Amino acid sequence: MKLTILGGGGFRVPLVYGALLTDRAEGRVTEVVLHDLDDSRLYAVARVLDEQASAVPDAPRVTATTDLDEALRGADFIFSAIRVGGLEGRANDERVALAEGVLGQETVGAGGIAYGLRTVPVAVDIARRVARLAPDAWVINFTNPAGLVTEAMSRHLGDRVIGICDSPVGLGRRIARVLGADPKQAWIDYVGLNHLGWVRGLRVAGRDELPRLLADDDLLGSFEEGKLFGVDWLRSLGAIPNEYLHYYYFNREAVRSYQQAEKTRGAFLADQQARFYEEMKRPDAAALTAWDRTRAEREATYMAENRETAGAGERDADDLSGGYEKVALALMRAIARDERTTLILNVRNQGTLAVLDADAVIEVPCLVDANGAHPVAVAPLPDHATGLVCAVKGVEREVLAAAESGSRTTAVKAFALHPLVDSVNVARKLVAGYTDVHPGLAYLR
């Protein structure tokens, strides 16, 4: 089984490879092809993978290339984890938005739109090539903004592209843990868009345990979302929102603390990772140790500004292990070996949420087997959540239209219609600011 990783020089590739190394079963991945535009990043990551594999017999063979078509040919699975414009691009997404007083986050608000506008044309090019060169491959999209990018690719690949994110899984795991339930035995009633979803129930042996959590101050305040949103707000919602909804429900505070931060998240990661890739150029550097140190620091500081405004303190040790690679591996195994499982994934709606059309990519529990991911019917969202989901999906559609037509006017419309952008004038300034700093937006005319 051949797995191609696009963005193969990316920092999180060793997480994926580490997960592959734990898979000893028949039909596992035996060959990994790393693709990246940047040779030195490929070299750096290959060094880490090499150290990871050193003690493991029959570790998947790793090769690296900068030729995209060569990387795609013959692939059974393709992981797409690219970052168009790099972390400097992410830092610029944040800076331009914050200068206008609006949120510049990687996936939410103005920053997410800018990142989407840059990424969609590249993702579409990849999807077209996959359709031509590896039509039977399954594409697992990690590239953010993951819901939007998955939808862009699905227009060319149909249900052969599936988007993944670890945040709903992490949320479900945390809720199960505080309730004393085994996350594997729990049915998590979650739905929305990527980074915009809500847990409305958690069923164990047919019983919804969420009311018990919502009724208990101590339990509710004891985990990440309880600390971030506060017990009163969770109780008002009657649901547990994805952590990214903090940017909506506490937008002012989030914007202010991002403005005041010494470095934005993107700028912090750009510096941190530049140091890692620089270190990897030294032949005597201990690659795996350096990578692991950098990873631990990244995980410990995740959403630090949000937690600070909420007075949430440090992250729980249990939340630091990520899970993104586990979702990817579980999905791949279910498809490759027809090991039926349920995972929260980004797939086409197909009638799941009646307010959205069939092709809208949503984030929802899916049954996965050799035929792919099939969304499970869920109860409708309450009006306030439906409103947000529809507004943001509307914005995503404008982003897709702008990327297809190259229309600057449509790009302005995308920013202006976002619930976290409060003026058409600001939207115009954002488009001007972003096209100034991003060469990847030169197509907007």
Residues that bind ligand G6P (CB under 6 A): 144, 165-167, 265, 269, 298, 302, 324
Residues 6+ apart with CB under 8 A from 436: none
Nearest to 219 by CA among 194, 195, 197, 202: 202
Peptide bond into 145 cis (omega under 30): yes
Determine what percent of the chain falls in helix, strand and coil, rounding each to the nearest 5.
Answer: 55, 15, 30
Residue nearest to ligand G6P (CB): 167
Q: Which is nearer to ligand G6P, 72 or 188 (CB)?
A: 188
105 binds, among Mn ion, ligand G6P, none (CB under 5 to 8 A by kind): none
* By CB under 5 A, residue 81 contacts Mn ion: no
Q: Which is nearer to Mn ion, 134 or 165 (CB)?
A: 165
Shortest distance in whole angstroms from residue 209 CB to ligand G6P: 24
Q: Which is nearer to ligand G6P, 321 or 425 (CB)?
A: 321
CA 391 vs CA 108, 154, 388: distances in Å: 13, 21, 5
* By CB under 5 A, residue 165 contacts Mn ion: yes
DSSP readout, 192-220?
A: EETTEEEEEEEEETTEE-HHHHHT-HHHH
242 binds, among Mn ion, ligand G6P, none (CB under 5 to 8 A by kind): none
190 binds, among Mn ion, ligand G6P, none (CB under 5 to 8 A by kind): none
Rg (CA), the chain: 21
52 binds, among Mn ion, ligand G6P, none (CB under 5 to 8 A by kind): none
Nearest to 345 by CA among 209, 225, 243, 197: 197
Shortest distance in whole angstroms from residue 370 CB to ligand G6P: 27
Q: Which is nearer to Mn ion, 243 or 398 (CB)?
A: 243
Residue nearest to Mn ion (CB): 165
265 binds, among ligand G6P, Mn ion, none (CB under 5 to 8 A by kind): ligand G6P
Q: Are strands 240-241 and 341-348 parallel, antiparallel or unpaired?
A: unpaired
CA–chain centroid gap for 219, Å, is 28
Any idea what DSSP says for residue 175? H
Q: Which stretch binds Mn ion (CB under 5 A): 60-68, 161-169, 338-346, 369-377?
A: 161-169
Q: Which is nearer to ligand G6P, 10 or 375 (CB)?
A: 10
346 binds, among ligand G6P, Mn ion, none (CB under 5 to 8 A by kind): none
270 binds, among ligand G6P, Mn ion, none (CB under 5 to 8 A by kind): none
* By CB under 5 A, residue 110 contacts Mn ion: no
- Beta pairing partners, 191: 198
CA–chain centroid gap for 320, Å, is 16
72 binds, among ligand G6P, Mn ion, none (CB under 5 to 8 A by kind): none
**Residue 230 region, left (φ>0) first, then alpha (ψ -120 to 50), else beta?**
left
Q: Which is nearer to ligand G6P, 298 or 307 (CB)?
A: 298
395 phi and psi angles, rounded to 5 deg = -65, -45
Q: Which is nearer to ligand G6P, 209 or 243 (CB)?
A: 243
DSSP readout, 237-288?
A: HTSEE-GGGHHHHTHHHHHHHHHHSSS-HHHHHHHHHHHHHHHTTSTT--HH
Count the residues of the shown chain that bind Mn ion, applying the rule CB under 5 A: 1
Shortest distance in whole angstroms from residue 299 CB to ligand G6P: 7
Shortest distance in whole angstroms from residue 265 CB to ligand G6P: 5
Residues 6+ apart with CB under 8 A from 186: 172, 176, 202, 203, 204, 209
List residues binding Mn ion (CB under 5 A): 165
